[in-house]
Structure 1
């Protein structure tokens, strides 16, 4: 009789271990999926903010899948894209993702915009007569593309010489 109990207990322990191990790996997989979904959701949020896109999360709320987030361009988006295209035409180091824009692949468009940041800073410094790195002048191109801001006379002159219209938004000193 003791031998039967030992076998039953051993089987129960083995089953408990198998269930525990299976649960551990299932739980770990679920956590990894949730983390990947959060990261993708954050990417959509950064993209929407950076490109002034409207966000529709109604389907995402229903499914919980970040791929169901819908990004829609606004007037501000189109203005940003026009400024970006104009700058990319005169500064060859700045990429403009025409194909991604046509396909409305906003994540790819935002990635291209983000990858251009260092080139924008370098070109900004050259245009603003070598102002100190990290100064506000190192971001004139980024600020112009993002919101249409032109607060540096050297940059304003560059835009005029390049045939790019710039709003009169000089900073008050």
Structure 2
């Protein structure tokens, strides 16, 4: 989709939401993870699209590393979400991007996944303790300051990085069927 088509589509959406703000509220598509065997899990979208994950050998996963880990999908989601928001906002501002690459990285302590304590006996947290995004961007006829503001504004409007940064509450329902 060309930048102009993106800008037009987003402008139409913007106009609808200005008239009817409630139209912006919706349930997002569910992701349903199904255990296959070992540490192999398949995540399915309601439309039938599936993504498989597995864990590295340290956890007993396969040696070949052909499938991403759940943590990698988290980082991929952050990078993809920010890149998408940058493209949308660039199109809205008439900025013609020539280069865009977003990388997400994190640092974690595997002891948290295993429920282990640190040297002081405190629980090690399972989530990454450090996370970052790196953006490489270039555009025709746009200053470095304009591109920096585009990226920063896009980050503020990017749902997945914002969810991670603002540590939203994650509910949990457990269903244990009779066997």
Identify whether the pair has TM-score above 0.5, normalized to the shorter chain: no
Give TM-score, length-normalised by structure 2. 0.27
Q: TM-score, normalised by structure 1?
A: 0.28
Q: Which one scores higher on RCO, CA 8 angstroms, separation ≥ 6?
A: 2
Q: Which has the higher helix share?
A: 1
Q: Which has the larger radius of gyration?
A: 1
